[in-house]
Amino acid sequence: MSIVLVFLLVVALIAGWWLSRQGLTSKPWLETGEIRTTAGVGAAPAAKIGLGVFLAVVGGLFALFGSAVTMRMDYADWYQLRLPSVVWINTAILVLSSAVLQIAVSAARRGESALLLASVAAGGLSTLAFLVGQLLAWRWLVDSGQSLAAHPGASFFYVITGLHGLHILGGLVALARTGGRLRRGNDPRRARLGVELCAIYWHFLLIVWLGMLALLLGWASDLVALCRELL
């Protein structure tokens, strides 16, 4: 369970840092009168905070899968997952779509609406390409004798990529709605916020993907072993 505990430690540190600025040691019974502060977390819109909380949940979900992988790895029947090279192409595509959405964010900030629309569309299309690529990877795995129940590494690969893909699909729905809003152009502020939230979500899912890949390929445990040796 070490991965999820590390994840929770990070969450706890963020929460603790925030709580430490909330005057938790003040004596509220002595402080009668109007306190002239905005109540919320700075000026961030609720949707952004909501996304942040949601990402903590999603992060916890994948961290738990990570913990399940590391616990399962310790049993005798674990052997190394073999992955097709298309996975690396997929990874590159996902990096690309994440970068393109970041371009969209800066385009939105500078008000370049043509570039904004184009980059949102490119981001969506490249993400679709990623999903298709993942399906190809599944097919290759089945053909190479690593079907779902063949060995635990493969089982985890299907479950984790599947769930990751579902999260991406959900993101695509949000991105499509944002794109529609941009094209109609009647609520530019909301559309811009939408682009920003999508970009954050994409970066996050990219990090999750890289982490899961490293774990399933055994790199993460190699790294831990290396660190242990250094210590």
Region binding another protein by CB under 8 A among candidate stretches 148-156, 171-179, 188-196, 201-209: 148-156
| Amino acid sitting at position 214 | A
Region binding another protein by CB under 8 A among candidate stretches 49-57, 100-108, 112-120, 197-205: 49-57
- Count of C-beta atoms within a 10 Å radius of residue 77: 8
Q: Using the rule CB under 8 A, which residue among 56, 118, 214, 217 binds another protein?
A: 56
Vertex 54 angle, CA 50 and 55, to 5°: 120
3-state helix, strand and coil shares in percent for the chain, rounded to the nearest 5: 80, 0, 20
Q: Which of 111, 39, 69, 46 minimizes the C-alpha distance to 219?
A: 69
Q: Does 28 bind another protein (CB under 8 A)?
A: yes
What minimum distance in Å lies between the beta carbon of 114 and another protein?
30
What minimum distance in Å lies between the beta carbon of 44 and another protein?
8
| Residue list 8-27, contact with another protein (CB under 8 A) | 8, 11-12, 15, 19, 21-27
Q: Binding string to another protein for residues 60 to 79, with x set by CB under 8 A, is what?
A: xx--xx-xx--xx--xxxx-
181 is written with which tokens?
Answer: 């809003």
188 is written with which tokens?
Answer: 């530019």
Q: Using the rule CB under 8 A, which residue among 96, 163, 200, 207 binds another protein?
A: 163
| Residue list 76-135, contact with another protein (CB under 8 A) | 76-78
Q: How far apart are CA 7 and CA 99, in angstroms?
A: 25
Q: How far apart are CA 31 and CA 132, in angstroms?
A: 59
222 is written with which tokens?
Answer: 């190699």
Residues that bind another protein (CB under 8 A): 1, 4-5, 8, 11-12, 15, 19, 21-41, 44, 46-47, 49-50, 53-54, 56-57, 60-61, 64-65, 67-68, 71-72, 75-78, 148-149, 152, 155-156, 159, 163
